[in-house]
Amino acid sequence: MSKKPKIALLRWEKGQVCDALLQLETLPGNSTNPASYPFDVEMVYVKGANAETVETNPCQELLDEYIRICKELAEQGVKAITTSCGFNAYYQESLAAAVPEVVFTSSLLQVPFAQTIVGSKGKVAILTANANDLKEEHLTRANITQRDNLVILSMHNQPEWSRLYSNPDGGAFKLEAITDEIADVLRKGLEEHPDIGAVVLECTDLPPYASRLREEFGLPVFDFNSLMGHIAMALNVHKLY
């Protein structure tokens, strides 16, 4: 009998993911692709979790469902719980306070660490899927208390990426175009803010492109997978030696 995974990932309700996102989910590095991890992760579909309740209009009903599921997972032996969208940072404080497991809802939790390592003269860029949905509450609930050295970079105005919002079921993405758009957004951010010393990718669909950003710009790029790896090693789920 196989052992129960120690880490679980709460993902959107089945049928609530648009065609465009489904395509991105097939890429190695995407949070909901089991092949992204060198260890087992339990994928849990959450009723009521969708773009509305996670990104644009967080609600008590979804928090209650998250808490219910997390308590069940704890009883089954799960030690840590994460989610499939960086905007779940909105629920971080409440969820962590309500359940016994380790809870790490969003890659945004790495921002304070990134701010520390760049020092007082550096800035941290948050590259988000949509800056219109990234609110002060997300930053506060991710324990990001320092704001003056943050640079928010957004993908939502990029032609190919913006189809997530304008035409989400309009057929396959041009993945090469998305790769270039992500790099272009960071490049322009660095032109305006050359003191950016680290990058945090909010969106869990962006990690497949993180290696290119690291290689091209020579900066530390933190993403969902760097956070997942950190927790996995802390729990001895993944070992380097």
Pairs from 194-198 (Cβ < 8 Å, separation ≥ 24) = 195/121, 195/122, 195/123, 196/122, 196/123, 196/124, 196/125, 196/151, 197/117, 197/118, 197/119, 197/122, 197/123, 197/124, 198/114, 198/117, 198/118, 198/122, 198/124, 198/125, 198/222
Q: Which two tokens stand for residue 216?
A: 């091209």
173-210 pLDDT, tens digit per residue, is 788 899 999 999 999 999 999 999 999 999 999 999 99
Q: Mind listing the domains of the chain with CATH numbers?
A: 7-106+227-234 (3.40.50), 108-223 (3.40.50.1860)
109-146 pLDDT, tens digit per residue, is 999 999 999 999 999 999 999 999 999 999 999 999 99
> Residue 107 — φ and ψ, nearest 5°?
-65, -15
Quick one: which of 118, 61, 108 has its CA closest to 85?
108
pLDDT of residue 20: 72
Q: Which two tokens stand for residue 83?
A: 């989610």
8-54 pLDDT, tens digit per residue, is 999 999 877 777 778 888 899 999 999 999 999 999 999 999 999 99
54-66 pLDDT, tens digit per residue, is 999 999 999 999 9
pLDDT of residue 1: 40
Q: Alpha carbon of 24 to those of 27, 60, 172, 204: distances in Å? A: 6, 29, 9, 10
